[in-house]
Amino acid sequence: MAKPVKPAARRGEQSGKSSKYHKKAILWNFPLNRKNLIYLAIGLGVILLGYLLMATGITEDTAAPDGKWANIFAVQISPVILLIGYCIIIPIAILKFFPSQKDKEEQSK
């Protein structure tokens, strides 16, 4: 008569023996903290301001009779503001690492 065979333990299940397949729990933290989100909000505000200034140039008479644009905000200032928002503030918000208080304590040990 054959002996009854126990079903094999699934991966990650604890049996009487220690399993080499048991994985540790992986903790995932959101990489952006509060300061990053504040910079991101500031960048989006600057971009919105740039587009609002650009929209001031939309009128019936946008150009002077000599062919030059009459509104300096729409032509010169708003592109610079948009460039600052897109190329400086948003990348700083995404790439800059602001250590939290917990990270500072771990580094000091």
Please report the pLDDT score of residue 71 as a whole number.
79
The domains of the chain are located at: 34-108
Please report, to the nearest 10 degrees, the dihedral formed by the alpha carbons of residues 93, 97, 101, 107 taken in order: 180
Please report the pLDDT score of residue 95 as a whole number.
94
Instruction: For residues 26-46, give the mean pLDDT.
Output: 90
Please report the pLDDT score of residue 98 as a whole number.
84
Centroid of chain to Cα 52: 23
Please report, to the nearest 10 degrees, the dihedral formed by the alpha carbons of residues 82, 86, 87, 92 taken in order: 130
- DSSP reduced 3-state for 63: strand
User: Cα–Cα distance between 34 and 55 in angstroms, integer?
Assistant: 32
- For residue 88, give the nearest of 43, 22, 23 by alpha carbon: 43
Residue with tokens 């397949």: 21
Please report the pLDDT score of residue 68 as a whole number.
66
Q: How much is the pTM? A: 0.65
